[in-house]
């Protein structure tokens, strides 16, 4: 059983405050999490790489600052974090869950990595993911799947299942994910944690191994809304190294989370997207949870109306054209010439032979499928019907959102149609796996901010469900306000945080 003083159960905000108050040192906090990883990660398999030495030395630096009375580098100084292995880290292996980059040690840091380090955040290690962030279960990781701490036979979502599993298993209070079609929100939903995809361009992509450039967005993952907001403000903001980065002030998400926690949503207009709230493939327990969540939002004073977004049903096909197309080009650089593994370099093999043999051996089946779909969709003669048409659908989806946000402040839906599925259940059928992203994809295509917040356990299988909250571009703070209010209300109704109901892993 956890004790009230168990450092791994505390929120990031609490840990940061205690470190500044010298109640506990960052080294102690870090060591507690490293111990927890050592204890449970053989079953959860959230981490691909743990950098204990680097973590402890970063923690010591924070403790020295505290001892010397220096102001903290950020409100999260000294707090540990799990970094998705898609984020490039100088001197620390970065594999993207692929054999292609087995043992690759980057010579540079991503902008996010740099901002985390400068904020005094302690990076514990790199978390598991579907290969190149393509998947919804982490089963596409070359290094084997991660397991959902709620039920180790189930997936923790994907692609960022390592990050979500690490949070739910109390291996880390904070994590970074990346979301292309739902890879932060869907894992958050199925592990009962908070996952946020900021406005596209809100967080620098420099140093994220690219999957789909026009969709990829990194964001904060945590166990509480406030922790996510605090992390959001650390990583967000303009970056001159990313041409698609937005040169505007970071939305005031921390203030919004604090304001929301007062539990007052009066005056707020919330739309329930009817096109994402039922139909084929939705689990009854998920829909029941969603209805309860909507009722709670009403009780908090919000006005709730139904809204139709007729083009959302083309979101999934448009996404599965755009993302593979961009990936087929982004992943061309993995060719065994400059970095990564090299296969078949013998007996007069040509560069072309070696490229093809390496890519065959280095990429898993899902990556190959998407590369080939993208290659097809961009081919001359098909471009207009596929990639071109998908980009137009994107405009239509964006217009649906624009219309809805013309009268509504935020939109809500379930984050994902089902709770965590069993390992192996969908691996044989790519299309069924793709459906896990049904609800998250529209926001990705429109580039708007969206997040998942735990909305209780499904009545039918007792597994976590997530509520998705979507806001207009650059208005990320709106969804934090709603999420924080909802979190407080749900905790009050259920007698404590949902994550406390997770089964013990210490067996």
Partner 1 sequence: MTGLAELMDYEDVLSTFEPVLGLEVHTELSTRTKMFCGCSTVFGAEQNTQVCPTCLGLPGALPVVNAGAIESAIRIGLALNCEIAGWCRFARKNYFYPDMPKNFQTSQYDEPIAYNGHLDVELDDGSVFRVEIERAHMEEDTGKSLHVGGSTGRIHGAEYSLLDYNRAGVPLIEIVTKPIVGAGARAPEIARTYVTALRDLLRALDVSDVRMDQGSLRCDANVSLMPIGAGEFGTRTETKNVNSLRSVERAVRYEMCRQGALLAGGSRIVQETRHYDESTQTTLAGRTKETAEDYRYFPEPDLVPIAPAKDWVAQLRETLPELPWERRRRVREDWGLSDAEMRDLLNIGAIDLIASTVDAGAGSAEARSWWVSYLAQKANTAGVELADLPITPVQVARVIQLVTDGELTTTLARQVVDGILAGEGEPDQVVAARSLKVVSDDSALIAAVETAMAEAPGVVAKIRDGKTAAVGAIVGAVMKATRGQADPQRVRELIIERCQ
Partner 2 sequence: MPNISRDEVAHLARLARLAVTEDELTTFAGQLDVILQSVATVGEVAADDIPPTTHAVPLVNVFRPDVVRPGLTQQQALSGAPSAEDGRFRVPRILGEM
Taking each helix axis from N to C end, the angle separating 315-330 and 365-378, rounded to the nearest 10 degrees, works out to: 100
Spatial separation of the C-alpha atoms in residues 140 and 159, rounded to whole Å: 8
Q: Residue 462, Cβ neighbours under 10 Å: how many?
A: 13
Catalytic residue among 25, 137, 159, 325: 159
120 CB contacts (<8 Å, ≥6 apart)? 58, 61, 62, 65, 72, 73, 74, 76, 77, 78
Binders in 380-399 for partner 2, by CB under 8 A:
385-386, 388-396, 398
Q: For the stretch 198-234, what's the b/e string if a residue is b when 16 or more beta carbons lie within 10 angstroms of its beta carbon?
A: bbbbbbbbbbbbbbbbbbbbbbbbbbbbbbbbbbbbb
Catalytic residue among 26, 84, 98, 146: 84
| In the complex, least distance from residue 124 CB atom to partner 1, rounded to whole angstroms | 20
Taking CB under 8 A as the rule, which mask of x and - marks residues 79-108 in contact with partner 1? --------xx-----x-x----x--x-xxx
Residue 339, interface with partner 1 (CB under 8 A)?
Answer: yes
Binders in 268-327 for partner 2, by CB under 8 A:
311, 314, 316-318, 320-321
DSSP state letter for 250: P
> Among 15, 355, 438, 448, which residue sits at the site for partner 1 (rule: CB under 8 A)?
355
Binders in 363-382 for partner 2, by CB under 8 A:
363, 365, 368-369, 371-373, 375-377, 379
Spatial separation of the C-alpha atoms in residues 455 and 11, rounded to whole Å: 18
What sign has the CA pseudo-torsion 394, 396, 402, 405?
negative
Binders in 212-251 for partner 2, by CB under 8 A:
214, 240, 243-244, 246
What does residue 178 show for φ and ψ, rounded to 5 degrees?
A: -130, 145
Polymer length in residues for the chain: 507
Decide if 183 is catalytic: yes
Taking CB under 8 A as the rule, which mask of x and - marks residues 317-336 in contact with partner 1? --------xx-xx--xxxx-
Spatial separation of the C-alpha atoms in residues 27 and 374, rounded to whole Å: 47
Nearer to partner 1, 142 or 170 (CB): 142
Q: Near partner 1 by CB under 8 A, which window of 42-50, 136-144, 208-216, 270-278?
A: 208-216
* Residue 390 contact partner, candidates partner 1, partner 2, none, CB within 5 to 8 A by sort of partner: partner 2
What amino acid positions are annotated as catalytic residues? Answer: 84, 159, 183
- For binding to partner 1 (CB under 8 A), which residues are involved? 87-88, 94, 96, 101, 104, 106-108, 110, 205-210, 212-214, 240-244, 325-326, 328-329, 332-335, 337-339, 351-352, 355, 375, 378-380, 383, 387
């Amino acid at each position: 059983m956890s004790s009230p003083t168990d450092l791994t159960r505390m929120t990031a905000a609490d840990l940061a405050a205690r470190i500044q108050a010298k109640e506990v040192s960052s080294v102690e906090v870090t060591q507690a999490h490293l111990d927890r990883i050592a204890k449970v990660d053989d079953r959860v398999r959230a981490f691909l790489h743990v950098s204990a030495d680097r973590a402890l030395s970063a923690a010591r630096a924070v403790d020295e600052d505290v001892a010397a009375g220096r102001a903290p580098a950020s409100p999260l100084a000294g707090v540990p974090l799990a970094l998705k292995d898609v984020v490039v880290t100088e001197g620390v292996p970065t594999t993207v869950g692929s054999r292609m980059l087995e043992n690759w040690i980057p010579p540079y840091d991503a902008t996010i990595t740099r901002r985390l380090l400068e904020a005094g955040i302690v990076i514990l290690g790199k978390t598991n993911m579907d290969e190149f962030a393509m998947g919804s279960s982490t089963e596409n990781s070359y290094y084997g799947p991660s397991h959902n701490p709620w039920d180790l036979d189930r997936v923790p979502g994907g692609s960022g299942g390592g990050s979500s599993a690490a949070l739910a298993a109390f291996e880390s209070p904070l994590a970074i994910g990346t979301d292309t079609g739902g890879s932060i929100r869907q894992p958050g939903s199925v592990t009962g944690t908070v996952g946020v995809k900021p406005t596209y361009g809100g967080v620098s992509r420099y140093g994220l191994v690219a999957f789909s450039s026009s969709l990829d967005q990194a964001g904060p993952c945590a166990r509480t809304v406030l922790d996510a907001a605090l992390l959001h403000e650390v990583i967000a903001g303009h970056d001159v190294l990313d041409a698609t980065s937005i040169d505007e002030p970071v939305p005031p998400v921390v203030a919004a989370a604090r304001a929301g926690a007062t539990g007052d949503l009066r005056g707020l207009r919330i739309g329930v997207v009817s096109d994402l709230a039922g139909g084929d493939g939705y689990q009854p327990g998920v829909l029941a949870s969603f209805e309860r969540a909507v009722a709670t939002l009403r009780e908090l004073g919000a006005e709730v109306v139904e809204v139709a977004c007729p083009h959302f049903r083309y979101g999934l096909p448009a996404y599965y054209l755009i993302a593979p197309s961009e990936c087929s080009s982004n992943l061309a650089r993995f060719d065994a010439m400059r970095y990564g593994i090299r296969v078949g370099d013998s007996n007069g093999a040509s560069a072309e032979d070696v490229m093809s043999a390496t890519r065959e051996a280095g990429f898993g089946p899902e990556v190959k499928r998407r590369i080939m779909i993208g290659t097809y969709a961009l081919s001359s003669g098909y471009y207009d019907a596929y990639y071109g048409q998908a980009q137009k659908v994107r405009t239509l989806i964006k217009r649906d959102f624009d219309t809805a946000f013309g009268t509504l402040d935020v939109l809500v839906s379930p984050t994902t149609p089902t709770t965590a599925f069993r390992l192996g259940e969908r691996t044989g059928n790519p299309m069924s796996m793709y459906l896990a992203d049904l609800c998250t994809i529209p926001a990705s295509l429109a580039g708007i901010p969206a997040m998942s917040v735990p909305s209780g356990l499904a009545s039918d299988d007792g597994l976590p469900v997530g509520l998705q909250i979507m806001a207009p571009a650059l208005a990320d703070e709106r969804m934090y306000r709603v999420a924080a209010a909802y979190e407080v209300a749900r905790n009050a109704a259920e007698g404590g945080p949902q994550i406390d109901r997770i089964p013990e892993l210490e067996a």
